[in-house]
Structure 1
Amino acid sequence: MREAGGWYAYLNMRLIKIAGPASVGPYDTEPEPVRTERACPLCGHPMSAHSFDRSGPKPLMTCP
């Protein structure tokens, strides 16, 4: 136990053998909702119908 990691590495190795590795990643299998078809808060049209100009310092949105 005097090697690199010491007591922590020993305890972690034993704990992983009992509990298994950490679970990571998405827990739900539902697809993410389509965000482009949300209504515009200004005009109510779908956001996919708008045009965006990102050439300047601030993006500009043009409603249809």
Structure 2
Amino acid sequence: MTPRRRKPLRTRIREAGGFYQWFNGTLIRLAGPAQLGEGRGTPCHRCGADKADHVLVDGELRCP
């Protein structure tokens, strides 16, 4: 039984449509798809509340 030989990396990248497409496909295969949907927002570094709950005053966020 002869071991299956992989195609050279250059050929696999070219067949995927370029480096970005090849890298993106490889990354998704390893890490899984992006996490989408409802989730907690980014927490404020000062008060810990979601930044979505803050008020924008004079170009800066104010804690609730």
TM superposition score category, shorter chain reference: 0.3 to 0.5
- After TM superposition, the score normalised by the length of structure 1 is 0.36
Structure possessing the higher relative contact order (Cα contacts under 8 Å, 6 or more residues apart) = 1
Structure ranking higher in helix proportion: 2
- After TM superposition, the score normalised by the length of structure 2 is 0.36
